[in-house]
Structure 1
Amino acid sequence: MFREHVWSNTPLGRLEDWSETLVATVNMLLLSPFAFTVFWGQELTLLYNDSYRVFLGSKHPDSLGRPAREVWREAWPVIGATIEDALHHGARSDFKHMLIPIELDGVLQDRYWTLCFYPVYENGEIAGVAEIVFDSTSEVLAERKLHESREESSRVLQSIGDAVIVTDAETRVTRMNPISENLTGWSQKEAKGRPLSEVFHIVNETTRKIVESPADKVKRLGTVVGLANHTTLIAKDGAETAIDDSGAPIRDDQGEITGIVLVFRDIAERRAAEREREAHARHLQEVLDVSADGVAELDREWRIVFLNEKAKEMLAGSGDVLGKNHWESFPSAVFDGSPWLRHYYAAMDEGKSGEFDHFYPAPLNIWMHITVRPASSGIVIYFRDTTEQHRAAEALRASEERLRLALAAAKGVGIWDWDVVNDLVYADEGFARLYGVDPAEARAGITIQHFTRNMHRDDKERVGHEIAEAVRTGHEFSSEYRLVQSDGSVRWVSAVGRCSLAADGRPTRFPGVTVDITSPKAVETSLRESEDRLRIAAETAYLGVWEVSLPAMRMECSDICKANFGRAAGEPFSYEDLLASIHPDDLAGMQEAVRSSVANGTPYRSEYRVYWPDGTLHWIVASGRGLYHEAGEPSHMVGVTMDITERRLAETALLQSEKLAAVGRLAASIAHEINNPLESVTNLLYLARGGTKIEEIQDYLDMAERELRRVSVISSQTLRFHRQSTNPKEVTCEDLIETVLSIHQGRIVNSRVGIKRRLRATKPVACFEGEIRQVLNNLAGNAIDAMHPVGGTLFVRGRNATDWSTGRLGLAITIADTGAGMSAQTLRKIFEPFFTTKGLSGTGLGLWVSKEIIDRHEGVLRVMTSQRAPHTGTVFSLFLPFQPAPR
């Protein structure tokens, strides 16, 4: 009936445009088994269910959706004011057996009605009036007949409207009127002399238990008695009739009971009406219980006399409050300026309705919207939990404020909302300026063509297709394109949005946001060009590029990287394959270098030997660094590799050359050192041969022996200097320094060089002793040469120290001279191979080799120099960690 009706022609409009409250009310109306109608809106548009149709007769279905004043024009003078009062003032009214004339099938009839009117609320306002109605004409007429029957019975007992049975003192039947005969199924002739309980068989309607005979009860109590409620009379033929009755004693002049008069009546119709009213009350209770609002009723003593299920649920935190004083149950509602006090007392004492929002603290901790209405017995309160709405509103306010601040702070961000139906785009100032549109026009709304006309011609067609597809499907729109500015410049933007579709698939609104990405695009282009240059440079330098994910150790590498390890471009090459190819003697050092780099966040560098699949041995240098998550956890290592086999071979040759040169220099030094004592021995032996006295000859021989012991010491120190070990050995700073100085003792004296020592190191250092002595020998020899021929002072220092770049502890040795110092050009080249300032007497490999040795020890070799008088000279500082990594 409802869906087939043309609602667009009524004041309510199309069915799909109805509010949720109206839809819910109509659904409740349609589900009601009783006659139910709703008068909606100011026009009091009539809505009703099938049970109500019988009251309309031929007026149905034209009455549906029409103003009630027109449909019930004949009854409006009687009920119109009541309905208007409910609509405008929220008054609830109940009427029983109200005479209202109605026109039924063209005939005006007097009918009696039992009615209930109550307002229907929507968003706290009265939206309509609901009516539950019963036609009680038959009940009124029945009661009239009953009354007439009773009047008649007062004149003629046998014509009495109630059933009458008279018994003797022993409760045996003596007389019955026709009605009692009809109800019991017994004729007076059949019943006479029988016990009343046999003729008048009554049971409880619900339990079916036999009810005490009223005659027995009168006899026992000696007074007038009535039957209990819900009594059913079972007739002789088994028919059942709901009755009520009373019994009275018949007394003689002495007051003795000589009989009993039992009067009873058929109340089936009344019982049906009662059941109908009870069902109606239950229905109303069910309606209230399914309400989204809590409903409570307070009597004039402020006792809570009614709570629907929603109210019980919402107030559960305060315990069972039904029947208790409201103010005692909710003490937090009592305070100065309390809206509860103000509105509740206004409703109770002055009959004024009111509503308010307020927060009730623990134990409820909820926001409530409360409406209070006066009632005859007190007040009725409607309340709704609005906590989520308040939270949502607060969150929305905060979000809008954050968005406002973000948009105010952000540059190049614009928001748009396209009304697709009317082709009007509403946009903020940021969006308008990006697209070259007047901000005032954008706020007022202009067509989309105003915004698309400035798109770059190479992007316009593509973006147009993307917009059309988003409008057609409702899918997300995301696009990057260029906008040509009024000055001819081009800006990149990124636009994101989504088109909303109606139920029938038609597009309605298309909101979104546009961001100026010109700067990121420029960075992206620059980064891409930089990556291209880096790739070309790596390929040109034949550098392999690799990346290892941590901690899974999954490796990806370039074709050149694979080639460094003897693998083909398309051949798989994992991190496990790399480890398997490394020379066993180098594997631990490489893995420790990786671990240390990842753990300490320091650059990674390692040189190691690898076996190619063809069995040849190659040298690889790998360097890189770790990448870390924001939390500091390592995520990747990236770096490069290079095949340095040829360089290593060349370095080996150079080192061998330097060693040979060092041996030559050492041989010359030894020859010089030994020559002096040997010359002294020759002279002493000569003097001994020419001596004449034994004591004098013995003195010459003792002196010669001392000179020979000096030659032996020089030889031993020389052999110790060049003794090589395969593993690091611990040696003290003093031992290293003194050995080197003793080798150069002759040169130091002959060059007029003074020595100033300060050796404060207390801990031995683990190193390859021969290599470190070679470095110190080279530095000391260079310092002595720098002070030739004028002489000077050689400063030698040793101490415990810390390398602050790595935090490692170690030994620091400083060798300084007071020579002429070095120029800036010389200083830049001193660690380059084959660079020398000594002409033909120098190889140019000493400092280069020294630097390589210190690097292999994971140490540091630094130099400072000055040519500014009077503070000229050069200082070499050497740092060796106490425990270097194994090779």
Structure 2
Amino acid sequence: MKPGVSSERAIILAPTGRDASVAAALIKEAGYYANTCADIAGLMHEIEGGAGLAVIADEAIKTADLRGLVSWLNDQPPWSDFPIVLLTRQGGGPERNPDAMRLGQILGNVTFIERPFHPTTLVSIVGSAVRARRRQYETRGILEDLTASESLLQTAMNAGHLGALELRLPDFELEASSTCKSYFGRDSGAPFTYQDLLGAVHPDDRERRHAILQDTVDTGRDYRIEYRVIWPDGSQHWVDVRARAVRHRDGTIKSLVGVCSDITARKTAEIERETLLAQLAAERTALADLTATLEQRVEQRTTDLMKEVAARERAQEQLRQAQKMEAIGQLTGGVAHDFNNLLMAVMGNLDLLRKRMPGDPRLHRLVDGALQGAERGASLTQRLLAFARQQDLRAVPVDLGALVRDMGNLLERSLGPRVALRLDIPEELPPASVDTNQLELAILNLAINARDAMPDGGAIDIRLAAWQARNDPTLRPGNYLKLSVVDTGIGMAADVLKRAIEPFFSSKPVGKGTGLGLSMVHGLAVQLGGALQLASTVGKGTTATLVLPVATSAPAPASPAPAPQAMKRTAVILLVDDDPLIAMSTAEMLEDLGHRVISANSGPHALDILRSDQPIDLMMTDHMMPGMTGVELATVSRQVRPQLPVLLATGYADLSDGTQVDLPRLAKPYHQDQLREQLDHLLGQGAASDQHAVGAGVRAFSPSP
């Protein structure tokens, strides 16, 4: 049979007379498919093999055993409503024929045609039934895609250790997932009502929780709170609950839908940290008392041992702060790297889902919304990686004066009419070694922070100046440029200033900031070999200064865009990734682009394939894999297949020590269009020049003493 015949054909049961042959001929002449059968058993056999509708003469089933047919109709999946056309004798329609009425009630989706029928009537009804059946098949496909999307979302929820909950208003009916129940000490099968939740809240946190919930119900603002819960076994735990209002069409709140997570470990660590800080404060107080006693006993000592003690204390404090920020940076970088991988799977599958969806605008809006959320998550991870100094930067000599002047219009539009922007840029400043895109984002962040610190308006000065570092312990001695953003705003208290660059710390109200702006700028400055210096006075304003290293060469002139390379339409690609979720998503995208994929889950596995006779046009590998990294795999692969192009896909910028990498890199998370662009470039290059460049991509070097 041709494609579509089985799923759209009309099965005709009319064993007496010429009705079957006439109906079949008319249906086929109209461009549809039709098969005849002799009895109910034959009808069932044909329907189970796939059909669009059934055309049945009423005399063929009046006395027949219909239990099998009725059972099949009742067991249809939710998307299916199998259409039946019932041929009755003249005057035998459902209004005048109780038997026809009974059959219609038993069989469900029935259309009656009285014989003798007009050919146009039969063809019209069959056409309508086939089109309706096609819509049912489309609905089936949509439901299957939605099921896959829900599974992907659940995977992401599980990966993030998040429980789901919904609180329906106004009756406060609670529905919670098994994971959510577990965070309140309940088994997955046990009932968990809203009253159970209220009873679990720690008595000291109930009033605060009630006030925040009432504010959400009254205003529709997002619900976000951390509080303690008491499990049935008496143990105390912490939960983080976040929810958003879902509204009726009239604007009233229908329910609160959100997630919860267990933050007991983090809260315990915070309490331990506060205890440790208190102990350190007590020790510092004791040290001060001891110093005072020594001063009283040893009068001959000059005010100069005191400067030494103060300097040592400052150095110790700086060391403690540096160690704390380093630990936070490592943790932040690891979380951002793992989250990048999750976003890679989400964005890749959403890209493919959008290409295969039917033309339903609502479904496209839903998928586009999910993609926008994933892209915002990708932007968030870039900020985290910048703070952790693990973002891939490309530092080049840049004229800072020209860069700031070029940003003038953008800054003025961002700051608004109530803020005056003033530039103080001396002539003939040396170029700085920076990443242009990241520096522009940092300047914009600092300017917006300054604007937010001046709710009644004011002035912002952006100043550039040359500076030489000599005795600053945070910088290498040498020449630098200082880029300062000065505001006349409300300023920061000492305790706020001390924590200003910590990730997720913000003095702004909830919902007004991520707490990542200054931490991103700090990470960028340190990664470039500079620093972020903050000075602030309450009521007078804040000065944020980016210290950036001077470049050793002049800015490069703009070069013309390279000519597009010829695209290789199809290729055999060796895909190497130890994460099954990422490997599956990437393979789907590659195959959708027309390539054939060979998968390997480790470096040694990939080498086994490379040593075989299998033809391979390109190898695409992740970097952070156990046992053998992607860079190490690329190095060893040169010994097996020196001519093979290699594409490194990674969201992690801190590559192996002792290795300089010039491999083409694809930053995670990426869209299918970005993947196609990289592949087209690599596969379309000339063999000689391509292999010369790629073959020199990984070079071992000895670090300077």
Specify which structure has the bigger relative contact order, considering alpha-carbon pairs within 8 angstroms and separated by 6 or more residues.
Answer: 2
For the aligned pair, the TM-score class normalised by the smaller chain equals 0.3 to 0.5
Structure possessing the higher radius of gyration over alpha carbons: 1
Normalising to structure 1: TM-score of the pair?
Answer: 0.27
Q: Which has the higher strand share?
A: 1
